[in-house]
Structure 1
Amino acid sequence: MAVSPSLDIEKNTGDYAHLTNTAIRSFGWEGITVTVKDRETKQPKDILSDVNGIVKAGELLALMGPSGSGKTTLLNVLAHREATSSATVQQSLYINGNKTSLKDFRKISSYVEQEDALVGSLTVRETLYFAAQLSLPSSVNKVERIARIDALIAAFGLQGQSGSLIGTPIRKGLSGGQKRRVSVAAQLITSPKILFLDEPTSGLDSAASYEVVSFVRNIAKKHNLLVIASIHQPSTTTFELFDKLLLLSRGRTAYNGPVAGVQEYFDSMGYKMPMYMNPAEFVIELVNTDFARDQGKATQQLENIQTYWGKSEHSMSIIREIENAVSGSPSTNLEDDNGSANKLLLPFTLIHRSFIKSYRDVVAYGIRIAMYMGLAVMMGTVWLRLGTGQENINAFTNAIFFGGAFMSFMAVAYIPAFLEDRQLYVKERANGLYGPTSFIVSNFIIGLPYLFIISLLFSIIAYWLSNFRPTAEGFWIWVMWLFLDLVAAEALVVFLSSLMPIFVIALAATAFANGLWMSVDGFMVGPKQLNVFWRYVFHYIDYQGFVFRGMMINEFGSRTYDCDSSCHCMYITELAPQCKIDGKGVLETYGFDNNGQGKYIAYMLLIILGYRILGWVVLYLRRR
């Protein structure tokens, strides 16, 4: 495999080479124990127990073990992230022998998630550009940012793919290995000194796995980057790229030392590794009790291995090394003299990124526009050219309900796009780039022009085909109500999808909510006849109800209809002597105030704001 070009960040970015003023020589941890309540016994249970370790600059440490051994939990603890929900954590973490705060630690570290949370409709260069915009301090000028991006693209061998899209379900993009390299490169944009990788080879074949780890190793050795990666059963060649191995099983250490010394160590215990066997597979099988035929024997073997480790000279030497680093290290200054990313500009950066995604990714809004246009044609041709005779009053009312309610219902099509955005937000928030306020604000703003375009295009087709009040004023008021309807529906999707970020569950919850709003909006049962519970609990907060009211007033508030040929009128109004029906008579049967448009608009704005605030609260409280 060809050696990648060096990541010469210091050469390409002038004086701004790193975020910190102090070189990171070592990262150590001592006595890490994570305790949760057992679901069956309800008693405390250790999922990590007294784990120690130390890694030095330029080294790669592999965290390995069977499924459920505690690899990801340990990685999260080391990265100053939440270990697991409702867990009690005991930990001592040291940078150059000194304890650090979360704020300081984030200045020198980056975390690459197991899943590639990338925007598929961005190119490689754009992905790194936005990573730089979101994470680099404002003191780094445009020339320096471009130089850093170019250096990363070269270092990870992505020159040929720099203008290629990451890839979406509809448009093919990068390979799995290339996507993983982009994920790592995006986290290296700030020149971190510690890099955490959660299963960096997950889903990759052996060649792609070697490729990714090899690129990371080259950069780590070149720039004294300290790398800690959880990894599951790598190939022999990939395993040998790591300097150290920390082997876990059932939350306890089975081995912690050089990769090159694995075979000799287990040989000394009497566990001979067969010739030509992958060392990674060998050690995993030794400590894995999940599939053993004789559970008692396998458990006893694991306890022997872990007890042997606890009493071994290797274990003692790690503790001494940590203690020496703590006792012999002067205080480490991790203060950042270069400031931080401009928080006020973060929403604009997110809007810019979302705008590119929205017009390139047909799933985000393109399919929704096509769906709404199809609905407009269907509605316009079903309620085609309704006349002004009284026999069409119910048809107009039905069309108003259908237009508002089903436009709102079809907002469920936005759920997949939002969940993708949310996944990226979760990753970037965990890395300290921005919080829920920037995300909610940018998400709200980027949707407005598209929702207005949808409202306008739908209305141009459906409004005139159905022969609603044929005036410019009537048309634009209809567009306004439809726009507010879609904005509220999208705010509801954001709230429910944030609360239940699983597609099927979010879809079901949103569909149920829309069904509820349809039932109590005043069309199925008039507000005066509606059961008091549904009326006072749900009707007055039903945004579809206010849309229905507004559209009804727009249609019937200033229009007249003809009675039948015998001058029998369905609604008796002051125009009855003229064989006419004043549309206000229709509104009176529903109890709608003809002068209440402004009030209803205010209620709609409050409902939209309420949903957005609820979405913000959910995102603020949920870390994952």
Structure 2
Amino acid sequence: MMLTVHPISIVSVGWPRRRPLTVVFKDVSLAIGKTTILSRVGGSCRPGEVLAIMGPSGSGKTSLLNAISGRVKPSCGTITIGGAPLNKRHKRQICYVLQEDIFFANLTLRQTLMYTALLRLPDSMTHHEKTKLVDHVLHLLHLQHCQHTRIGEVMNRGLSGGEKKRTNIACELLTNPSIMLLDEPTSGLDSSTALSLMSTLKQFAEKEHKTVIVTLHQPSSQIFYKVDRLLLLCNGQNAYFGDTRKVVEHFANLGLPIAPHYNPADFILEQVKGPPEIQERLIQGAAEGPQRINNFNLPESMKLQTSPSIHSLYSKYLSLPSVHVTTGVENSQCPWDGVCTTCQHHFQEYNRTCPTDVSVTIDVDKKESPIYNKIVGEEEDSGRSSWSEETVSEASGSSSTCEEYSDLQWPTSFFTQFKVLTRRNFCVARPIILSWLNGAQTVILAVIAGLLWYQAPRTEETLQDIQGWMFFSTHYWMLFILFAALQSFPAEREVITKERASGSYRVSAYYLAKMVGELPLTFTLPTIYFFISYTMMGWDNCFTGLMLLFMLLLNTLVAQSVGLLIGAVCYDLQVGITIAAIFTLFTQLFGGYLANRIPPWLEWAKYLSMVHYAFQNMNIIQFVYGTKISCSRENSRFSSCVEFGRSEEESQSHSIPVEEILAERGEPLSLWMNTTILIIFMVMVRLLTYIMLRFMHRPK
């Protein structure tokens, strides 16, 4: 079904106003190691135009787009935005739509757009205005019918490929960027959807005077002619730059005519992928041709390389014997006329001095050589915006008068980011942590544990069973939470990297929101397990039960901290799983239950086991504040029971001292010391995780 192209109005939806910007890049080269990716590539794109970067796979299309966006620093060359060198201030004015559709699969389309609007639009806009803007973008890209559909993934289907692609663009349109960079937006779409999408982008560029640069792989002829300018790459070099409708003529002049009824896009790509001699001819032709930036060379035979409108104007007069033709201001179209009323004074000077494109003097009778006088203007992409010098200086320094909000480092405050991200992290993590599979697993294991230790009497014979329940509970939830946290960062990494690269929020706000947003979810399943299994085993009193629950939850937080650290450091999930397995087995061996007689030269290792402190605390709580453990009827292993009495009646009436029970597992620390060590360890590991996120894995 064809998409309907709707009229766009910035004022009607309260969009943050942006001034139009011209993108000019000259002699851009990029090398990775000894491999040259780009070599002296040049081009430009003005507001209201769509520039397509084409070339075969591996020709450097995406690399050039990364360089223009500032994500990759070129080896040499210049890139200017609105006449000023590319810098961090342009981040708010450039949007980069990646080729991959990277989203949280559990969120709906509308939730995705709303969270993007709440994070990337300034606090000066009200929630109602942001909601209205989301509705407008949904209407613009014809996404209303699927706005409540989950994004989905491979195993759980949601949006279609075309809907995901438009959602990707919608997220970037929310900020009303001056410059839009799109990496192969039509890939994976059918011809009808791809054409409709390109029509929407072209209409957006023309109506709002946006600068749109796209990479295209193999477009149809209809999509090809939607593009105003074409930059063709061959082995990382310019093979053509200029008007899209003149590329066929340019190839014909190089001795490469196109066959009738042939798709021009297919034709030029076939030539670019042709023999080395053809490729060299194209590169040489691009270097010497009229499309070379700031290099206007007409051939010896009079042949005007002008825009179609000027060419049609000259065609009336070129056949006359003597004529002087000048295209003046009245025939020039200043591309930024009427963008915003508050900036009209910036355009007045431009309208008075809009340069002459071509002045031609021809006198056939006198056989004089034609005189070509070209005044360099915006058409030649000199790198200077049509805005006045005052405006350009403002762009490089303070914000423009067209901006309704200043380009601060962050679009929203820390509190706003924390609040929105906390809510989003909760929504993203809830179906994962509280899935029916995890819930069923928790209930089944709790019932099995409860049956295994059902109504265990507090006697010396069942002492090891009670300690077994405590060790199993602490160790199981350490494994469960640690591996769940370990996989959370790799699952979110691509989305977070994309959002960090666009400057959506602070890393500190994201990390703190992740910890707070997932906290109630992290506590839910262990709490359910505890109440089922401990109730079946037999409660001593409420205080003992709640203290044991507190230690179990603290142990899960410590395990989660380790999982987050491993996930933040290890980008390779397989490596992370291996490190996590080594850590958990180490803590299990030195936890104080499986091995009581640790060799003296290895005793230091138990102090590195976090389960060791949690297991000690649960023993202290259970045996100090819970029901006392009575001595065995015979052959007691505790000296106090043996010394107290030899008869069964005396043994049963005497309880085992807590000190002797704890001494079996080694010399214990106090309850508060163990708790303090766990809390300090948890805080240090979480701080280290933040440092890793903040400095180790910065997005390019």
TM tier, smaller: 0.7 to 0.9
Q: Does 1:33 align with 2:29?
A: yes
Q: Percent identity?
A: 25
Q: Does 1:588 align with 2:573?
A: no
Change (3 A) 1:64 1:573: farther
Q: Does 1:47 align with 2:37?
A: yes
Q: Does 1:113 align with 2:98?
A: yes
TM-fit CA distance, 1:328: 9.4
Distance 1:531 1:253 in 2: 68
Distance 1:444 1:350 in 2: 10
Q: Does 1:187 align with 2:191?
A: no
TM-fit CA distance, 1:186: 1.3
Distance 1:527 1:113 in 2: 58
CA contact (8 A) 1:6 1:154 kept: no
Once the two structures are superposed, what CA deviation does each residue of 1:407-455 show, in whole Å capped at 9, x if it has no partner?
1112223444443333221111100111211111000001111122222
2:492 to 416, 421, 429: 421
Match for residue 60 of structure 1? Answer: 50
Amino acid at match of 2:85: K
Q: Does 1:551 align with 2:536?
A: no
Once the two structures are superposed, what CA deviation does each residue of 1:117-171 show, in whole Å capped at 9, x if it has no partner?
2233333332222111111111112332222222211111122223333335665
Match for residue 542 of structure 1? Answer: 609
2:420 to 322, 330, 349: 349
> Mapping of 1:463-612 within 5 angstroms?
463-467=534-538, 470-526=540-596, 529=599, 531-532=601-602, 536=604, 539-558=606-625, 559-566=627-634, 568-573=635-640, 577=644, 578-579=650-651, 580-593=655-668, 596-612=670-686
Distance 1:82 1:525 in 2: 54
Distance 2:638 2:166 in 1: 71
Once the two structures are superposed, what CA deviation does each residue of 1:317-363 show, in whole Å capped at 9, x if it has no partner?
4797233637996252231552442233211110112223344x356
2:255 to 253, 270, 273: 270
Once the two structures are superposed, what CA deviation does each residue of 1:472-520 show, in whole Å capped at 9, x if it has no partner?
1221122112211222222222222222234444333333332232233
SS in structure 2 at match of 1:573: helix
Change (3 A) 1:243 1:505: farther
1:73 to 25, 42, 63: 63
Distance 1:525 1:278 in 2: 76
Match for residue 92 of structure 1? Answer: 78
1:330 to 385, 389, 396: 389
Q: TM-score, normalised by structure 1?
A: 0.87
CA contact (8 A) 1:97 1:325 kept: yes
Distance 1:461 1:274 in 2: 78
Distance 1:357 1:257 in 2: 46
Match for residue 12 of structure 2? Answer: 11
TM-fit CA distance, 1:277: 4.2
CA contact (8 A) 1:135 1:433 kept: yes
TM-fit CA distance, 1:3: 3.0
Distance 1:240 1:416 in 2: 46
TM-fit CA distance, 1:311: 2.4
More displaced stretch, 455-464 vs 299-308:
299-308
Distance 1:255 1:539 in 2: 69
CA contact (8 A) 1:9 1:151 kept: no
Amino acid at match of 2:500: R
TM-fit CA distance, 1:466: 3.2
Once the two structures are superposed, what CA deviation does each residue of 1:167-223 show, in whole Å capped at 9, x if it has no partner?
356654321111211221111111111011123233333333333333222222221
Amino acid at match of 1:96: G
SS in structure 1 at match of 2:48: coil
Change (3 A) 1:490 1:318: farther
Change (3 A) 1:4 1:318: farther
Residue segments in structure 2 that go unaligned for 5+ positions in a row: 297-375, 645-649
CA contact (8 A) 1:31 1:52 kept: yes
Distance 1:544 1:379 in 2: 19
TM-fit CA distance, 1:592: 4.3
Match for residue 313 of structure 1? Answer: 290
2:506 to 415, 422, 435: 435
Change (3 A) 1:199 1:375: farther
Distance 1:93 1:599 in 2: 59
Distance 1:362 1:600 in 2: 32
Amino acid at match of 1:208: T
Match for residue 112 of structure 2? Answer: 127
Match for residue 154 of structure 1? Answer: 139
1:142 to 117, 123, 127: 127
1:456 to 523, 527, 530: 527
Amino acid at match of 1:64: M
Amino acid at match of 2:9: D
Amino acid at match of 2:384: A
Distance 1:263 1:575 in 2: 104
CA contact (8 A) 2:224 2:265 kept: yes
Amino acid at match of 1:546: Y
Runs of 4+ in 1 over 6 A off after TM superposition: none
Change (3 A) 1:49 1:600: same
TM-fit CA distance, 1:80: 1.3
Once the two structures are superposed, what CA deviation does each residue of 1:255-285 show, in whole Å capped at 9, x if it has no partner?
2223222322222223344444443333333
Match for residue 445 of structure 1? Answer: 516
Amino acid at match of 1:75: L
CA contact (8 A) 2:49 2:211 kept: yes
Residue segments in structure 1 that go unaligned for 5+ positions in a row: 39-44, 290-297
Distance 2:591 2:58 in 1: 50
Change (3 A) 1:385 1:55: same
1:218 to 186, 203, 211: 203
CA contact (8 A) 1:563 1:570 kept: no
Change (3 A) 1:276 1:410: farther
Once the two structures are superposed, what CA deviation does each residue of 1:570-615 show, in whole Å capped at 9, x if it has no partner?
2323685242433431211222436x22222222222222222222
1:304 to 281, 292, 299: 281
SS in structure 2 at match of 1:561: coil
CA contact (8 A) 1:124 1:182 kept: yes
CA contact (8 A) 1:485 1:547 kept: yes
2:688 to 601, 614, 617: 614
CA contact (8 A) 2:526 2:553 kept: yes
CA contact (8 A) 2:485 2:567 kept: no
Distance 2:237 2:58 in 1: 11
SS in structure 1 at match of 2:4: coil
Q: What is the number of residues matched between the two proteins?
A: 593
Change (3 A) 1:301 1:364: farther
TM-fit CA distance, 1:523: 3.0
Change (3 A) 1:530 1:57: farther
Amino acid at match of 2:672: G
Match for residue 369 of structure 2? Answer: none
Match for residue 472 of structure 2? Answer: 402
CA contact (8 A) 1:164 1:174 kept: yes
SS in structure 1 at match of 2:239: strand
CA contact (8 A) 2:80 2:383 kept: no
